[in-house]
Amino acid sequence: MIDIIFCISAAVAIISALLTVSAHNVVHALLYLVTMMLAIALIFFMLGSPFAAALQIIVYAGAVMVLFVFVTMMLHQGERSLAAERQLFNPQVAKGPLILSALLVIELILLSLGSVGLHQEILTGSLPVDQTVKQLAIQLFGSYRVLVVLAAIMLLAALVSAIHITKQGNKPDTKAKPIHKSGSTEFTPVEIEPNQAQTNKKTRGEHG
């Protein structure tokens, strides 16, 4: 029974990954990507590491996806993305991810009802005591503490570099900027907004 549930989750993960890679629209790709991450979280759960499953959902399907969606909305690639956003709450678009996620939810309910016999000991043979979250924390802040510090430094470096890259008006870049049709070298939010308003008006005029 566990094998069947694993096979369904694996199939869901592979199908969503394929649809992610082959999607034409970024928003659809992100929906399928979230589904793939939920399927992988379910597999983690079945493998006897619920902590990793929770982290997968919180960090990947939560934080990273929010970052992606935020950037997708920020970039706002002209009329094509406008049309895509008009379709955003169209149930037709979200049908595929919804069906796949519903499969995963059914599997999770089956697992947690215990009808399959999901307990860590049964699932992964005789699981020793040293696979608990407590043991993980002892290891993490014991023998791996240098890596924790290094990870913290890496996060700080990523934060600083992300802020630096996205900062408006980097001086060395002004020379390398291509000639825009508007002639402006830098885009401030104030400058972007009228353009978006224009495209909005244009598309509204075309479709309205």
Helix (H) or strand (E) run with residue 55 in it: helix 50-55
Fill in the amino acid letter for 76. H
* Cβ-based nearer residue to other proteins, 18 or 106: 18
* Cβ-based nearer residue to other proteins, 93 or 127: 127
Collapsed DSSP state (helix, strand, coil) of residue 178: coil
- Smallest gap from residue 23 Cβ to other proteins (A): 8
Rounded to an integer, what distance in angstroms lies between the CA atom of residue 40 and that of residue 15?
A: 12
For other proteins, the binding residue among 31, 43, 100, 111 (CB under 8 A) is 43
State yes or no: residue 154 binds other proteins (CB under 8 A): yes
- Smallest gap from residue 98 Cβ to other proteins (A): 20
State yes or no: residue 110 binds other proteins (CB under 8 A): no
Rounded to an integer, what distance in angstroms lies between the CA atom of residue 107 and that of residue 1?
A: 11
Collapsed DSSP state (helix, strand, coil) of residue 170: coil
State yes or no: residue 123 binds other proteins (CB under 8 A): yes
Collapsed DSSP state (helix, strand, coil) of residue 151: helix
Rounded to an integer, what distance in angstroms lies between the CA atom of residue 65 and that of residue 71?
A: 10
CB 123 within 8 A of CB 48: yes
State yes or no: residue 67 binds other proteins (CB under 8 A): yes
* Cβ-based nearer residue to other proteins, 187 or 204: 187
For other proteins, the binding residue among 28, 31, 33, 118 (CB under 8 A) is 33
Token pair listed for 45: 């759960």
183 backbone φψ class: left, alpha, beta (φ>0; ψ -120 to 50): left
For other proteins, the binding residue among 1, 71, 149, 197 (CB under 8 A) is 71
Question: CA nearest 173: which of 158, 160, 186?
Answer: 186
Residues that bind other proteins (CB under 8 A): 2-3, 6-7, 10, 13-14, 17-18, 20-21, 26, 29-30, 33, 36-37, 40, 43-44, 46-49, 51-52, 55-56, 59-60, 63-64, 67-68, 71-72, 74-75, 77, 123-125, 127-128, 130-131, 135-136, 139-140, 144, 147, 151, 154-155, 157-159, 161-163, 165-166, 173, 176-178, 180, 187
